[in-house]
Amino acid sequence: MSGPLEDLIDILGAEVAIKLNKFTPKTTKRLTIDRGMLDIEYDDHKAVGVDWAFDGVHKPSKLVVLWDRPTPWKAGQRAYLRRVLLGAGVYDDEVTHVWVSPYDPTSPILASQAIASNRLVFAALEAANTRYVLLCGAPSVAMWRPELKLKEVSGSAGVWDRKWVVYAIPNPVTVLREPMPQGEWRLWLYNFIDILNSSCDDGLPGLMAKCVMKDCTDDVLMYDPDGIGWCGRHWKKESQKAEMQKFKRKKKINLAQEERLDI
């Protein structure tokens, strides 16, 4: 049964609950200090440091690529991404690369390392000084919304903590193995660059048009604060459940930060 809200949305279109904080570029001096301090912290954790946007001096990033694990500059998947980004007008020294798990990929990640990694990722996103984050692969999507699968959000935009516009694509290593999806993958990346080049102050383009729930083909009725689309049958229960999971995850990270600082 529909109610007044549903009837109104049916007439006017999907309701949007998304709010983005204002983005403020940092000075070169501030970036150099923030990134230098974070580099030291990565070393303290014996983690692989961030590859910052840098052309002789530190500068605000045009975008961040969030990989699942440390990916060297010469790696085939990173070289492929670099070429496609260059074709879209984004230069390599404008991009910051961050890793979800910045530890030895040959060893299982410990629970304590996972918590530290979460905190380091958020600190790296802040120090990168950009509004745009490319979620490259399933682990990166899980860092943002762990209950969602990559295929459910690939090729659509979202919002992370009201600070970052995110866009999910498969890790390019998968399209290098199977050339058939390369055309769609490149199109998704170009769509993300179009969003980057547009103003998000008057609304966020690139949001999903269909409900995110598996096997649901209904049109979006409501967007949650992260830009995830829900139909009339699923938005209330499922979006509330997702918000609770997000709150619990953030609380764990904050507690870990307090313990580190002996608060």
CB atoms within 10 A of CB 14: 18
Answer whether residue 142 shows pLDDT above 70.
Answer: yes
Q: Is the pLDDT of residue 144 over 90?
A: yes
Selection from 170, 172, 174 nearest residue 151 by Cα:
170
Max Cα–Cα distance, the chain, nearest Å: 61
| pLDDT (average), residues 88-95 | 97
Range of lowest pLDDT (9-18, 84-93, 158-167, 217-226)? 9-18
Residue 90: per-residue pLDDT? 97
pLDDT band at 16, cuts 50/70/90?
A: low
Between 92 and 103, residue with greater pLDDT: 92
With 60 as the cut, is the pLDDT of residue 260 above it? no
**Residue 21 pLDDT more than 70?**
yes
Whether the predicted pLDDT of 13 surpasses 70:
no
Backbone angles phi, psi at 13, to 5 degrees: 105, 175
- What is the mean pLDDT of the segment spanning 30-55? 96
- Picking from 14-18, 67-71, 201-205, which range would have the lowest pLDDT averaged per residue? 14-18
Q: Are 102 and 33 in contact (CB under 8 A)?
A: no
Mean pLDDT of 8-30: 74
**Token representation of residue 15:** 């309701």
Tokens of 19: 């709010």
What digits encode the pLDDT tens for the residues 158-183?
999 999 999 999 999 999 988 778 99
Structure tokens at 186: 């490149």
Residue 1 in this model has a pLDDT that exceeds 60: no
DSSP string for the chain: ---HHHHHHHHH--EE----PPP-PPPHHHHHHHHHHHHHHHHHTT-PPPB--BSSSB---SEEEEESS---TTSHHHHHHHHHHHHTT--GGGEEEEESS-S-TTSPPPHHHHHHHHHHHHHHHHHHT-SEEEEESHHHHHHH-TTS-HHHHBT-EEEETTTEEEEEE--HHHHHH-STTHHHHHHHHHHHHHHHHS--TT--TT--SB--STT--PBP-EE-TT--EE-TTTHHHHHHHHHHHHHHHHHHHHHHHHHHTT-
User: Is the pLDDT score of 98 beyond 80?
Assistant: yes
Query: Per residue in 197-253, pLDDT tens?
Result: 987 766 788 999 999 988 899 999 888 889 999 898 887 766 667 777 777 767 766
Q: What pLDDT digit, counting tens, does each position of 101-139 carry?
A: 998 777 766 666 777 888 899 999 999 999 999 999 999
> What local confidence, expressed as pLDDT, does residue 234 receive?
84
What number is the average pLDDT over the span 43-59?
95
Torsion sign across C-alpha atoms 142, 182, 98, 17? negative
Which is more confident, 29 or 253? 29
